[in-house]
Structure 1
Amino acid sequence: MAAPRPIEKVTLSAQVAERLRGDILAGVHGPGEQLHEVELALSLGISRGPLREAMQRLVQEGLLKSIPHRGVFVVDLSEEDMLDVFFVRASLEEAAIRRLIDSGDRAATARTLTVLSERMDRAMRSGDHASGGDLDLEFHRTLVDAAGSLRLSRTYATVQAETRLCLHRLMGGYRSRDDLAVEHFRLAELIGSAPLDKILPELHRHFGDPAATLRRLRGDASASAQGQTR
C-alpha cells in the first residue's frame, strides 16, 4: 500500500496571488492600472521573486496582462471581452443543463441552488455586492459541476477569474438589489423540474447584455465625476 502524499503547504507566491486577486476584485487596483513591482513588494513586505510568481499566475488567469517593455497592468475588460466571456459561459452552462436533464440529480441540484440564492439575496439586501458577485459565480459553477462532466467543469474553470471580474464590475449596475436573487430563484426552480425549452430562454434572459450594463456604469461614473468638479 502506497504511503499517503503529504499535504501541500501554501506557498508565499500563492498567498500573494490570493491577496492581489482580492484587491483587484475589490477595486483596490483599478482597470488599466499598472502594478509596480518595487512598490508592491515593499507594501507587502516580501521580496520581488514571490511577487513575480504571483503576478504571472494572475496573468494566466486573465486578471493581469503583461506588456513587454512596459510592465504588468490590471485587465480592463472591453465590451467585446464582456460579451465573449458571457458567450462562453452561456455555451457551457447550456451544455451542463442538457447533461443534467439527461442524467443528473435535478432535484438535489435545485435545492443547492436555492440555498445559494437565499444567501445571495441576504448579501445584496445588506449592500454587500462583492459577496453577491461571489455567490453568483458559485451558483453557476455549482450548476456546471452538477452535470458530472470533469472536462466541462475544467473548461468552465478556465474563464472563472474573468467571470469573477465581470461579475464584480457589473454588480453595482444590476437593475435592482432584488433582481439578482429573484432571477436565480427562478432558475433554480426551473432546473428542478421544467423542460429544456423553458430553462434555456430564462438562462439567456438572466445573462442579459453585459456590455450595456458596463456602458451604463461607466456613464454613471463619468456623470458623478463631472458633478464633483462643478
Structure 2
Amino acid sequence: MPLADIEPVSRESTAGIIARQLRDAIMNGALPPGTQLGETELASRFQVSRGPLREAMQRLVSEGLLRSERHRGLFVIDLEPDDVYDIYVARTAIERAAAIRIMRGDREKAAAALDEIVRAMEAAASEDDPTALSDADLRFHEVLVAESGSRRLMRMTQTLLIETRMCLSMLQQTYQRVEERVDEHNQLIKAIRADDEEAVLKLLEVHMEDAIQRLLPGTSLH
C-alpha cells in the first residue's frame, strides 16, 4: 500500500489506553513493586477482552516495567539496588546532555518553564503533600529534558521517569525538610539564568549523587 494511502489514527487504541493506565498505576504506587497482574481481574476492571489487555501488558514488559515469570505470570518489577543505581546513572547522562543543549539554546525559556514547576513544588511543600511534591519533582526533570529540544533524549527518559517515580516514593521519606528539594531545583534554575554551564552540570551531578546516597547509603555514582 502506498504511504499516501495511510490514514492518520484519530484515536488512541484500547491497548494504548490500558498500557497508559497501567503505567500510571505503577508510577503512583497503586500497583506496588512485586504485584502480580491477573488477566481475569484486570479484564473485568477495564471491561475489555483479554486480547488488548495482553497487548498492553506486553508493551510494559518491553518497556521493562513488568517482568514475566514462566508458569506464574506477569509481575510489576522490583527495584533492586543495582536497578536504582542504573536508573540514576542513566538519568545523569541524559539530563547532563539535555542541560548542555539548554545552555547553548534559549536558556530563559527553559528557566521560565522550570520556574512554573518549582512553584508547584513550593505549593505542595507548604501543604505538606509529599505525593504532589514528588509528582512536581518528576515533572521538573521531564521538562528539563523536554526543553533541550531533543526528541531522542525525551524518548529515552520516558521509562526512566516512571522508574524514578517509584524511587521517589522511597526518597521522599529521607528528607527532614521538604524545602530541601525545592532549594535544590531553584539553585539549578539560577545557574541556568546565570549562564554558568559548569555550575549547572555540577548541580545536576550533586542532585543525582544525593539521591543515590539517600536511597543506597554508601553507594556513589562514581
Q: Structure 1 length normalisation: TM-score?
A: 0.81
Residues 101, 148 of structure 2: 8 Å contact kept: yes
Output aligned runs, 1:154-169, within 5 Å. 154-169=155-170
Residues 65, 72 of structure 1: 8 Å contact kept: yes
Q: How far off its partner does 1:72 sit?
A: 0.4
Distance 2:120 2:6 in 1: 37
Distance 2:209 2:36 in 1: 31
Distance 1:191 1:156 in 2: 21
RMSD: 2.5
- The 1:18–1:32 alpha-carbon spacing in structure 2 relative to 1, beyond 3 Å, is same
1:84 corresponding residue in structure 2: 86
TM-superposition CA deviations, 1:77-127 (whole Å, max 9, x none) = 01111111111111111122222223x011121111111111122123324
- The 1:171–1:8 alpha-carbon spacing in structure 2 relative to 1, beyond 3 Å, is farther
- The 1:5–1:47 alpha-carbon spacing in structure 2 relative to 1, beyond 3 Å, is closer
Output aligned runs, 1:46-85, within 5 Å. 46-85=48-87
- Between structures 1 and 2, the one with greater helix share: 1
TM-superposition CA deviations, 1:160-210 (whole Å, max 9, x none) = 332333234433433422112121111111112242222222112222344
Q: Which amino acid aligns with 1:197?
A: E
TM-superposition CA deviations, 1:149-168 (whole Å, max 9, x none) = 33333333352332333234
Q: 102, 106, 115: which one pairs with 1:100?
A: 102
Q: 38, 41, 51: which one pairs with 2:40?
A: 38
Q: Does 1:171 align with 2:172?
A: yes
Q: Does 1:27 align with 2:17?
A: no
Distance 1:23 1:86 in 2: 22
Q: Which amino acid aligns with 1:54?
A: A
- The 1:58–1:131 alpha-carbon spacing in structure 2 relative to 1, beyond 3 Å, is farther
Distance 1:130 1:54 in 2: 26
1:226 corresponding residue in structure 2: none
Distance 1:56 1:73 in 2: 11
Distance 2:51 2:130 in 1: 34
Distance 1:206 1:48 in 2: 43
SS of the counterpart of 2:95? helix
Q: Which amino acid aligns with 2:53?
A: L
Identity of aligned residues (%): 39
Distance 1:121 1:135 in 2: 9
1:225 corresponding residue in structure 2: none
Residues 62, 162 of structure 1: 8 Å contact kept: no
Distance 2:101 2:76 in 1: 36
Output aligned runs, 1:195-206, within 5 Å. 195-206=196-207
Distance 2:177 2:59 in 1: 35
SS of the counterpart of 1:69? coil
